[in-house]
Homo-oligomer: A and B are copies of this chain.
Amino acid sequence: MSHDHDTNASEQGIQRPGHPRPAAAQDHEAAPAARILAFLALAELSSFERFSTDAQFAPNLEDKVALGGLAVAEYRLFEVLRQRLAALGFEAVALMEEMQGPLQAFTRQTRPGDWYESLMKSYVVDSIFRDVHREVITRLDEESRTVALAVVDHTAPAEYLHERLGEAVAEDELLAGRLALWGRRLVAESIRRGRETLLQADPEAPAAQIMSSVTEAHSKRMASLGLVA
């Protein structure tokens, strides 16, 4: 992996027409593009951890294998982002280490109590983060954006989770009530966290407007599960 920091400025820079970031900002901190890619990399590594931890508690081997497969796919996307960061001259892990505090706090605040709560967490959180990331990556240079788009377009986990949660909720009214409640707690924390990510990536982003449409997409997802958001 390349640890070369001599890549040219345009490769490291982000595209913000009308909002040129002063060159000085890139000198004493990681370039904004690198920070955005590192946000995504942290989210992928966190999804890998969540799915592989969930696999441990799977009620049967079929689910364990399915969750394991989802975990592996997230790790691969983390690697793709790490490679892009290396190409831009950044060491992903070092960058992520500096930036991981808020995500760690979020993880502590949203510990699931059982198997279904953990599936619900992945469904709610990963979807909201993905919607936020989709906004954030429009600020990337073209090549980084292509890499990042492949990451946010990876919806296989959401499809599995939707199916698995939909079945469970349809069969068990008590569980449905509990998961709706849990979902509300998750969405509050995820929206807060998503907003922070957004503003760190671009302090001038129209956060209220973006987070409102992210929340709306969340409500639609809950409704499609038969839950009230």
By a beta-carbon cutoff of 8 Å, the part of chain A in contact with chain B is 45, 48-49, 52-53, 55-56, 60-62, 64-65, 68-69, 71-72, 75-76, 78, 93, 96-97, 100
Which 4 residue pairs spanning A and B have beta carbons closest together?
Answer: A52-B52, A61-B97, A72-B75, A72-B72
A56-B49 CB under 8 A given contacts A69-B75, A75-B72? yes
In whole Å, how far is A112's beta carbon from the nearest beta carbon of chain B?
A: 14
The quantity of this chain's copies bound in the complex is 2
In whole Å, how far is A69's beta carbon from the nearest beta carbon of chain B?
A: 7
User: Which chain B residue shows the least CB distance to A73?
Assistant: B72
B45 near A68 with CB under 8 A, answer: yes
Bound form: Cα–Cα A109–B84 in Å: 43
Residues on the B chain within 8 Å of A93, using CB: 61-62, 65
**A65 in complex: contacting residue of B45, B56, B61, B62, CB < 8 Å:** B45
Bound form: Cα–Cα A49–B61 in Å: 12
User: Which chain B residue shows the least CB distance to A95?
Assistant: B61
User: Which chain B residue shows the least CB distance to A49?
Assistant: B56
Bound form: Cα–Cα A96–B68 in Å: 15
